[in-house]
């Protein structure tokens, strides 16, 4: 029976009656200040039958464990999974708000086929059978025509088995083109670790046991690879042990991370390598480096002679002759006293480590990104904190049974030998992926036309600097399939949409990354799928089966669950245990002593051409294998300004900037926020929109952060509408005057200014990457984010 | 009888706003649409913001130090809000929690003015959720009354025109109380924590019984870094902060 509420009562009876009612109610007031009551008067009414289901978040790459509270089949609250080692029960605002992703009214509700012109927004719902048949026909005809390499797969954040599955699918079809978005973010650091330490992966940090953290632009507490892991670790080092750590943040912008750090050092954008070299200079010239490690377990520190008898300069002399405090100070704009002090603190507070963003955007710019990351990692080697307590760790993964051999298929084998569409390994010699380069390569018809394109968690039109060139490139691709859950900037140019579940409906595994030791978590459905969506992994296996022949034979699993059960059979717990706990990890991290058994798994493991001899390369032999015979003009072509031995060592490469300094005096810095995060669809969560501008006192909008000195010069006041203009275009937004950034830098937050996705995200604020030119580092295939100059003026 | 109390370590807080949104999802506060948000009408019982607010200078470049504050209801021992409430819609419970009874609130907003901490929020507009979005609302209710719904607290969506505030997640408290009663025992210190404490990414929040001298909150409250907001106004908050650094 519907209750008669007090408010209804007021409406009917008026105030006199209300006063009477009040008298009766007061006696029942819960332990009121004056009045006692029996507690049984108050009823807690549970919302219904509740269950708790563990799963894993996807709103950023942290991979936090979640426990969903499900009441009567509806997910009503998410909590951190207390046994998940990354977040230990905590959950950030994105994770908390992700119920708004599940129940978002703008989700795609079933497979759709384009009607009318591309990009005009005409769609008709179709059934899965028809949709999958369309895809199968296309793939079969590609293969029938002997051109399977004309299939390409662009993918974004993949976890656990999803990445090998996508790669295997692409290879089974007969194409080398499984192209990850890594070149937009983590590839700079990965490449640097590979070229120095010989590990082709992101390293983990022993954060809990370190005393000194030197962060070169890694906004640990807001964005990056595993922000939640960093927050938990940092919080531990501050207050959960006797000695408090020191955290130094080097970044042109202070942000929340700089504000929460123990020291913020503003640096000229793109000059981090010079600072790292300056610190190396102090460590080497003052004999503060770890001699035992450097002498026995590194290569190229001292000058050396190669097998042909050629003399080479080593890192020591290169640093001593080319960098001193004065030079480092000139380049970086940091006082030499500060550099010397930081270097001293770094060397005398062991264990200490130096880190780069595991989101390379801040580094990238004409070969600068790779060398910067190498220079910073060289500091770790100078202290010898490789695989040491409180130092840098090599991420380990659970042992999984090998993938069965691919079915014999001459057509696919030939296709896989073709050059990659993104030019990774050819046009861009060191690259493993060059996601953003696909657009210009397709437009140029290099190396061959793409006929069918798959997009999984990929929104290149929005995610890439100057990504609008993808729209043009799509004109040249006859068939585009997207697995998007929202009609994002890229999906709206697709021909067919095969919508994926959102993560709360999906089954998928997830490796625990960021702690070093192995762990696997399970993303499992907490509610039944709301709409006619399907797990993209199941769809891929289904398509492979439909294509038939050797493609089908390469996928001997009925569905993704079967595949997962096969791959995860040896992780240390059984399937039911994993489902129940949501995660299984095997701490602690087992350190390998320098030179001991297993040391070559820590240093040198993933070198493809150079010797895997357990030596950390100050002088990158791996790089020498790629570039050893490059002459001066070739090096110039690759964006390298130095010659000789310096090419293979960490050094400072000036960034080539887009826009004349006179005309465009300010650096454009596009920042990622904790609130609204890296994924396009986060922008369509109303709660995240509401809180997105916390630090800038802004809501539901973009802003541009300007230093007070700059603002005064330009006559700009708080909340003025301003134009931010680059050589590529201009955007209009509101000004925020904030002292926490360099006067020659302006910050624009990422993930606003969408032209699609949903009604909360669309036409709100501006997009900083629109001001950038699409550019790819010629050496590494990385997208460049830091090479844009702008001017600002009042609107 | 416990005295529920919260300690927030600002040295561990990283201003991620996890608390704000955990609170929203637990207590069904609506996301303010852009026009309402532009007027400052967002309802976040636990707000996070730069301190001092209103863009006051946190120093001159490069010597800048920005502080961030996270602010739930302070659950004062001597709460000014209850003294001004003409209808006793807000009251202090025996365990020290300052409650808000939506059924009684007439929306006069005396309390929002009386509160020196600005943690009482008025519903300027009828909160709306898209029908699909409505499904994630927390269905728990806290109520009493046989014929007339005399008393409603907790996460039930509030109508336009009432004031609401942080309740230390009263529904979680009452749920724990019910469970304790079923098990035939008194409520214990560790029986419940509010949503913001549970989600805190920096593990900066602690919750417990201040009457128990051994509890974590009691011990932390003795720290040299401990302070209360506006201690001088005599409200005796039960939320205690620990200074940075």
Indicate yes or no: CB of A92 within 8 angstroms of CB of B141: no
Query: CA A470 to CA A461: how far, in whole Å?
Result: 6
Nearest to B14 among A221, A236, A691 (CB): A221
Query: What CA dihedral angle connects A201, A202, A206 and A208, to 10 degrees?
Result: -150
Structural contact between residues B83 and B115, judged by C-beta atoms closer than 8 angstroms: no
- What are the pLDDT digits (tens) for A586-611? 999 999 999 999 999 999 999 999 99
pLDDT for position A655: 84
Structural contact between residues A755 and A762, judged by C-beta atoms closer than 8 angstroms: yes
Domain boundaries, chain B: 4-54+66-242
Q: How many CA atoms lie within 13 A of A76 on its CB side?
A: 23
Burial of A67 (0-12, 13-18, 19+ CB in 10 A): buried
- What are the pLDDT digits (tens) for A98-149? 999 999 999 999 999 999 999 899 999 999 999 999 999 999 999 999 999 9
φ/ψ of A792, rounded to 5, equals: -130, 145
User: Which chain A residues are closer than 8 Å to B50 by Cβ?
Assistant: 694-695, 697
Query: CA A466 to CA A47: how far, in whole Å?
Result: 49
User: Where is mean pLDDT largest: A532-541, A628-637, A671-680?
Assistant: A532-541
User: Which chain A residues are closer than 8 Å to B42 by Cβ?
Assistant: 690, 699
pLDDT for position A27: 37
> Quick one: pLDDT band at residue B202, thresholds 50, 70, 90?
very high
Q: Which of A39-43, A206-210, A487-491, A519-523 has the lowest mean pLDDT?
A: A39-43
The predicted model gives A441-465 an average pLDDT of 96
Indicate yes or no: CB of A739 within 8 angstroms of CB of B32: no
End-to-end CA distance of chain A: 59
Q: How far is B231 from chain A (nearest CA, A)?
A: 22
Structural contact between residues B135 and A528, judged by C-beta atoms closer than 8 angstroms: no
- Helix (H/G/I), strand (E/B), else coil: A441: helix
The predicted model gives A415-431 an average pLDDT of 96
- CA A199, A200, A201: angle at the middle one, nearest 5? 95
Nearest to B151 among A28, A72, A231 (CB): A28
Query: CA A90 to CA A64: how far, in whole Å?
Result: 8
Domain boundaries, chain A: 6-41, 112-186+409-585, 203-394, 666-794
Tracing tokens 């946190």 back to the chain, one arrives at: B58
Query: CA A571 to CA A589: how far, in whole Å?
Result: 16
Structural contact between residues A632 and A303, judged by C-beta atoms closer than 8 angstroms: no
Positive or negative, the CA dihedral A552, A558, A564, A565 is: negative
A203-394: what fold? Answer: Dimethylsulfoxide Reductase; domain 2 (3.40.228)
- What are the pLDDT digits (tens) for B131-171? 999 999 999 988 876 655 678 899 999 999 999 999 999 99
Q: How far is A282 from chain B (nearest CA, A)?
A: 24
> Alpha carbon A240 to chain centroid distance?
29
The predicted model gives B33-47 an average pLDDT of 95
Among A224, A229, A531, A690, the strongest candidate for a mutation testing the B interface, having the largest count of B CBs within 10 A, is A690
pLDDT for position B187: 87
Query: CA A254 to CA A274: how far, in whole Å?
Result: 20
DSSP chain B: ---EEEEEETTT-----HHHHHHHHHHTPPPPPHHHHHTT----SSEEEEESSTT---EETTEE--EEEEE-----SS-HHHHH-TT--EEE-TTS-EEE-TTT-----HHHHH-TT--EEE--S-----TTGGGGS---EEEE-SSEE-EEETTSPPPTT-EEE--S-HHHHHHHHHHHHHTTS---GGG---HHHHH-TT--EEEEETTSTTSHHHHHHTSTTEE-TTGGGS---SEEEE---
- Helix (H/G/I), strand (E/B), else coil: A576: helix
User: Where is mean pLDDT largest: A526-540, B87-101, B149-163?
Assistant: A526-540
The DSSP element (H or E) to which A137 belongs, if any, is helix A128-144
Neighbours of A457 (CB within 10 A): 22
φ/ψ of A112, rounded to 5, equals: -135, 145
User: Where is mean pLDDT largest: A58-62, A542-546, A570-574, A678-682?
Assistant: A542-546
Spell out the CATH class of A666-794.
mainly beta
- Assess whether pLDDT exceeds 80 at residue A779: yes
Q: Determine contact: B144 vs chain A, CB below 8 A.
A: yes
Provide CATH code, domain A112-186+409-585. 3.40.50.740
- Assess whether pLDDT exceeds 70 at residue A31: no
Q: Determine contact: B204 vs chain A, CB below 8 A.
A: yes
Indicate yes or no: CB of A221 within 8 angstroms of CB of B142: no
Per the DSSP assignment, residues forming a β-bridge with A74 are A71
End-to-end CA distance of chain B: 34
Indicate yes or no: CB of A254 within 8 angstroms of CB of B64: yes
B4-54+66-242: what fold? Answer: Alpha-Beta Plaits (3.30.70)
**Averaged confidence pLDDT in chain A:** 91
Burial of A263 (0-12, 13-18, 19+ CB in 10 A): middle
- Assess whether pLDDT exceeds 60 at residue A216: yes
Indicate yes or no: CB of B68 within 8 angstroms of CB of A228: no
Among A40, A51, A691, the strongest candidate for a mutation testing the B interface, having the largest count of B CBs within 10 A, is A691
Indicate yes or no: CB of A71 within 8 angstroms of CB of B53: no
| Number of inter-chain CB pairs under 8 A, A vs B | 271
Positive or negative, the CA dihedral A106, A109, A111, A116 is: negative
> Quick one: pLDDT band at residue B56, thresholds 50, 70, 90?
low
User: Which chain A residues are closer than 8 Å to B31 by Cβ?
Assistant: 100, 686-687, 689-690
Q: Which of A434-448, A495-509, B49-63, B77-91 has the lowest mean pLDDT?
A: B49-63
Among A1, A7, A717, the strongest candidate for a mutation testing the B interface, having the largest count of B CBs within 10 A, is A7
Query: CA A511 to CA A611: how far, in whole Å?
Result: 29
Structural contact between residues A714 and B43, judged by C-beta atoms closer than 8 angstroms: no
Q: Considering only CA atoms, which of B8, B177, B3, B187 is closest in space to residue A235?
A: B8
């Amino acid at each position: 029976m519907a209750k008669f509420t007090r408010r209804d009562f007021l409406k009917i009876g008026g105030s006199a009656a209300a006063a009477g009612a009040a008298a009766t109610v007061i006696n029942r007031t819960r332990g009121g200040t004056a009045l006692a009551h029996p507690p049984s008067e108050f009823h807690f009414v549970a919302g219904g039958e509740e269950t708790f289901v563990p799963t894993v978040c996807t709103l950023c790459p942290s991979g936090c464990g979640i426990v969903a509270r499900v009441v009567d089949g509806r997910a009503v609250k998410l909590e951190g999974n207390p046994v998940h080692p990354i977040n230990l029960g905590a959950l950030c605002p994105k994770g908390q708000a992700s119920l708004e992703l599940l129940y978002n009214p703008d989700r795609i509700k079933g497979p759709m086929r384009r009607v009318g012109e591309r990009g005009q927004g005409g769609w008709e719902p179709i059934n899965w059978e028809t949709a999958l048949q369309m895809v199968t026909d296309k793939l079969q005809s590609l293969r029938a025509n002997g051109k399977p390499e004309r299939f390409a797969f662009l993918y974004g954040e993949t976890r656990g088995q999803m990445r090998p599955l996508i790669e295997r699918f692409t290879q089974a079809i007969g194409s080398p083109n499984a192209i990850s978005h890594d070149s937009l973010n983590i590839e700079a650091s990965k490449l640097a670790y590979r070229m120095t330490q010989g590990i082709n992966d992101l390293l983990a940090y022993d954060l809990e046991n370190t005393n000194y953290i030197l962060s070169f632009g890694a906004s640990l507490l807001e964005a990056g690879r595993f922000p939640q892991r960093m927050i938990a670790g940092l919080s531990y080092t501050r207050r959960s042990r006797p000695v408090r750590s020191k955290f130094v943040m080097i970044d042109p912008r202070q942000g929340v991370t700089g504000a929460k750090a123990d020291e913020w050092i503003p640096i000229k954008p793109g000059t981090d390598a010079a600072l790292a070299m300056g610190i190396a200079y102090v460590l080497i010239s003052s004999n503060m480096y770890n001699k035992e490690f450097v002498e026995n377990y590194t290569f190229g520190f001292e000058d050396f002679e190669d097998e042909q008898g050629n003399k080479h300069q080593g890192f020591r002399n290169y640093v001593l002759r080319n960098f001193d405090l004065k030079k480092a100070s000139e380049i970086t704009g940091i006082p030499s006293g500060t550099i010397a002090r930081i270097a001293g603190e770094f060397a005398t507070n062991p264990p200490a480590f130096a880190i780069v963003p595991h989101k390379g955007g801040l580094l990238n710019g004409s070969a600068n990104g790779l060398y910067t990351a190498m220079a910073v990692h060289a500091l770790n080697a100078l202290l010898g904190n490789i695989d040491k307590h409180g130092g840098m760790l090599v991420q380990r993964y659970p042992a999984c049974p090998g993938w069965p051999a691919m079915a014999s298929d001459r057509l696919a084998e030939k296709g896989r030998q073709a050059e990659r569409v993104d030019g990774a390994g050819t046009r861009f010699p060191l690259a493993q992926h060059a996601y953003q380069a696909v657009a210009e390569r397709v437009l140029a018809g290099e190396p061959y036309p793409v006929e069918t394109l798959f997009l999984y968690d990929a929104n290149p039109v929005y995610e890439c600097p100057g990504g609008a060139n993808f729209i043009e490139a799509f004109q040249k691709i006859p068939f585009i399939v997207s697995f998007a859950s929202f009609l994002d900037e890229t999906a709206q140019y697709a021909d067919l949409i095969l919508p994926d579940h959102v993560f709360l409906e999906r089954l998928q595994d997830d490796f625990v990354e960021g702690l070093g030791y192995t762990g696997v978590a399970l993303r499992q459905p907490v509610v039944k799928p709301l709409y006619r969506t399907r797990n993209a992994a199941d769809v891929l296996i289904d398509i492979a089966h439909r294509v038939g022949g050797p493609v089908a034979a390469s996928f001997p699993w009925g569905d993704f669950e079967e595949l997962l059960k096969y791959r995860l059979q040896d992780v240390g717990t059984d399937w039911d245990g994993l489902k129940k706990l949501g995660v299984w990890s095997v701490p602690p991290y087992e350190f390998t002593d320098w030179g001991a058994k297993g040391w070559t798994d820590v240093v040198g493991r993933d070198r493809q051409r150079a010797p895997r001899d357990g030596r950390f390369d100050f002088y990158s032999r791996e790089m020498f294998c790629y570039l050893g015979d490059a002459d001066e003009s070739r090096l110039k072509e690759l964006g390298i300004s130095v010659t000789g031995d310096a090419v293979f060592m960490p050094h400072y490469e000036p960034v080539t900037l887009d826009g004349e300094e006179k005309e465009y005096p300010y650096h454009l810095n596009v920042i990622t926020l904790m609130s609204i995060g890296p994924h396009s669809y986060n922008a369509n969560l109303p709660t995240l929109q509401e809180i997105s501008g916390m630090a800038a006192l802004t809501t539901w909008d973009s802003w541009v952060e300007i230093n007070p000195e700059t603002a005064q010069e330009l006559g700009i006041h708080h909340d003025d509408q301003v134009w931010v203009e680059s050589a590529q275009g201009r955007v209009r937004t509101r000004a925020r005057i904030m002292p926490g950034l360099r006067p020659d830098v302006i910050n624009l937050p990422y993930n606003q200014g969408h032209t699609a996705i949903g009604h909360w995200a669309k036409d709100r604020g501006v997009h900083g990457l629109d001001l950038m030119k699409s550019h790819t580092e010629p050496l590494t295939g990385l997208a460049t984010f830091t090479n844009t100059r702008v001017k600002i003026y009042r609107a | 009888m416990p005295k529920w109390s919260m300690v927030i370590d600002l040295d561990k807080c990283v201003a991620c706003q996890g608390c704000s949104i955990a609170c929203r999802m637990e207590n069904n506060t609506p996301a303010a649409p852009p026009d309402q948000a532009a007027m400052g009408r967002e309802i976040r019982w636990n707000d996070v913001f730069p301190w001092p607010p209103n863009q006051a200078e946190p120093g001159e470049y490069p010597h800048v130090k920005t502080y961030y504050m996270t602010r739930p209801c302070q659950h004062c021992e001597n709460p000014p809000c209850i003294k001004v409430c003409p209808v006793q819609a807000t009251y202090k419970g025996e365990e020290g929690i300052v409650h808000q009874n939506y059924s009684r609130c007439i929306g006069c907003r005396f309390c929002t003015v009386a509160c020196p901490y600005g943690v009482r929020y008025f519903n300027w507009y009828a909160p709306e959720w898209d029908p699909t979005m409505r499904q994630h609302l927390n269905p728990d209710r806290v109520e009493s009354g046989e014929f007339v719904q005399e008393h409603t607290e907790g996460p039930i969506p509030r109508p336009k025109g009432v004031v609401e505030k942080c309740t230390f997640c009263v529904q979680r408290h009452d749920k724990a109380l019910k469970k304790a009663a079923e098990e035939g025992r008194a409520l214990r210190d560790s029986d419940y924590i509010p949503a913001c404490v549970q989600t805190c990414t920096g593990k900066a929040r602690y919750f417990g019984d201040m009457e128990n001298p051994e509890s974590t909150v009691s011990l932390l409250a003795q720290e040299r870094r401990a302070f209360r907001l506006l201690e001088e106004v005599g409200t005796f908050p039960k939320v205690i902060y620990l200074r940075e650094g």
